[in-house]
Amino acid sequence: MRSQSAGGALLAGSGDQSVTAVDRTIPGPAGEIPVRVYLPPGEGGSRPLVVFYHGGGWVICGLDSHDPVCRDLAAGTGAVVLSVDYRLAPEHKFPAAVDDSWAALQWAHDHAADLGADATRMAVAGDSAGGNLAAVMALMARDQDIPLRFQLLVYPATDFSQRRPSIVENGEGYLLTAASMQWFEGHYAPDPTDWRASPMLAGEHQGVAPALVMTCEYDPLRDEGMDYAATLEKAGVAVSARVYAGMIHGAFSMITAVPSAQALMDDACAALRDALA
């Protein structure tokens, strides 16, 4: 796990400290996978379960970098959140992250009761590279009969095979740059035509879990997210797509520094609560 920078920690804050976090490992295809289980406060029955995949270009970040986000998601939804520390590139190139993510989702489904959660009320979620993995997991879950209620895709990368206008429009000056995207992709080294890297290219999208796709006005990935939402809608999937005006890539983790970014967390929690009720 490559931890976030001190600057990233200042932007992210500490998250909701009423949430209990427990580290453990689960079996994976190449050894144990570290995960962190977030338990919201309160008692009563089994809870919904959200499997969360962190962003960081498949190269950086991990459990600690997204700890505040996962705490806030658990507190805001009342769900158990399982954060997955999948293998990172360049040591572990594509599809290692996909393989670990899938192993974690299968484990979460099979062991939901052990976590105090309900396997019939599950969702996947992720931001950026994690949004990419969450979208891929939703497709794999459909094909492997793991029932998902929802997919929360926060400025997801969805198509390595094409470049869209927002990459040119927002490729400089807004934190995530076109050059850094190429750097991350070069380390991850996906096959751009493989739908496990580019979920936009999946043969069909019918029957995947309903989705909220969140994008930001000044994000190079904005158009990929919006196009993916349109693809899901065309396939008959219930989907909501939102562009957050004035926001940049990373806003989901910037609530302390950018108070207006709280809208992304509020909307994410509201959508998950509704879907997992």
* Residue 88 identity (one-letter amino acid): L
Q: What does DSSP say about strands 31-39 and 80-84: parallel, antiparallel, or unpaired? A: antiparallel
Q: How many CA atoms lie within 13 A of 17 on its CB side?
A: 2
26 Cβ partners below 8 Å, 6+ apart? 32, 33, 35, 103, 104, 107, 111
Residue 145 annotated to the active site: no
Indicate which residue of 100, 118, 249, 253 is catalytic.
Answer: 249
Indicate which residue of 64, 159, 219, 227 is catalytic.
Answer: 219
263: exposed, middle or buried (Cβ count in 10 Å: 0-12, 13-18, 19+)? middle
Q: Which residue has the tokens 């493989």?
A: 194
Contact present, 51 and 33 (Cβ < 8 Å): no
Residues 94, 25: Cα–Cα separation, whole Å: 21
Residue 128 annotated to the active site: yes
Rounded to whole angstroms, the maximal C-alpha distance in the chain is 50
Indicate which residue of 65, 101, 128, 166 is catalytic.
Answer: 128
Contact present, 242 and 215 (Cβ < 8 Å): yes
Q: Which residues are catalytic?
A: 128, 219, 249
